[in-house]
Structure formats: C-alpha cells, structure tokens
C-alpha cells in the first residue's frame, strides 16, 4: 500500500499539510514533521523528547524495511531508550503530578487484515489483545 502524513493546524483548509514519506515509511510523534508549515512549532520546546522518540522509531522502521511484523512493532513500542521520556513513557516521579506523562495505550493496526492489537497501559507491562474490526467497516 501507500502511506502519507497529514498534519493540520488551526485555521482553514490552507493549514493542512500532506507529505509522502521516503520509502513509504513514516514515524510520527508529537511535533510537526512537514517542512511546509508556516508557523513556529512549539511541540519540541514543550516536549523535546518527541524528537528523540521520533528518531528512535524512524531508525527502527528503516532497519526493518521489508517485513515489519506485529511482534517487531510491539518490541519497538515498548522501547525504554531515554527513560522516563521514552517511546514507552513512564511517569517521572521527580516531577509534580501535573508534569508527569505516561503511555496509556499502544495500538498497532494491520490495514490488510482489519486487525488492531491494543495494549491498555504501558506496552512493556501489558499484553496486547487482538481485535478484529472488519465488521465495523461493513456498515
């Protein structure tokens, strides 16, 4: 299949940014990736770990370009590099409650089989359950 990244910003339709990834592989975290944005993205300022998590996942995906399996993605989403601000994010107990972040769920979707794998909570601590969603799409 094909993939693309769609990012939007407040305003009208002119604030929609579409990018087609190199090699049909795209990792995304919590900052804008489009080079076409016409404003200052404060995401990296607010959460600089987004840049590290993006680099980490992008590197993982590009080293598995031919056959990325669900178990591969489960391992990648449980990655603890840069703890506590890792892909699998855990609360930083040195910060106030309102400044703490954590992964509350992890989702893997297979668009070919209409299947979702869901881990409710940190993916390093929770078993993924398989959910078939094809019937929902039949209308």
pLDDT higher than 90, residue 89 = yes
Provide the pLDDT for residue 84.
92
**Which residues, other chains included, contact 52 with Cβ-Cβ below 8 Å and sequence gap of 6+?**
81, 82, 85
What are 19-64's pLDDT values in tens digits? Answer: 998 877 889 899 999 988 888 898 888 888 999 999 999 999 989 8
Measure the CA–CA gap between 81 and 90, rounded to whole angstroms.
11
Minimal CA–CA distance to 116: which of 134, 104, 137? 134
Q: Which pTM value belongs to this model?
A: 0.85
Question: Over pLDDT 90: what percentage of the chain?
Answer: 62
């Amino acid at each position: 299949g094909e993939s693309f990244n769609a990012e939007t910003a407040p305003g009208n339709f002119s604030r929609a940014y579409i990018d087609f990834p190199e090699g049909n592989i795209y990792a995304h975290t919590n900052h804008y990736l489009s080079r076409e944005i016409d404003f200052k993205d404060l995401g990296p300022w607010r959460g600089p770990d987004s840049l590290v998590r993006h680099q980490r996942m992008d590197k993982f995906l590009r080293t598995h370009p031919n056959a990325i399996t669900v178990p591969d993605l489960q391992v990648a989403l449980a990655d603890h590099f840069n703890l506590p601000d890792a892909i699998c994010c855990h609360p930083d107990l040195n910060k106030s409650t309102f400044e703490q972040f954590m992964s509350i769920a992890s989702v893997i979707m297979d668009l070919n089989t209409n299947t979702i794998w869901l881990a409710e909570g940190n993916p390093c601590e929770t078993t993924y359950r398989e959910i078939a969603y094809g019937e929902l799409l039949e209308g």
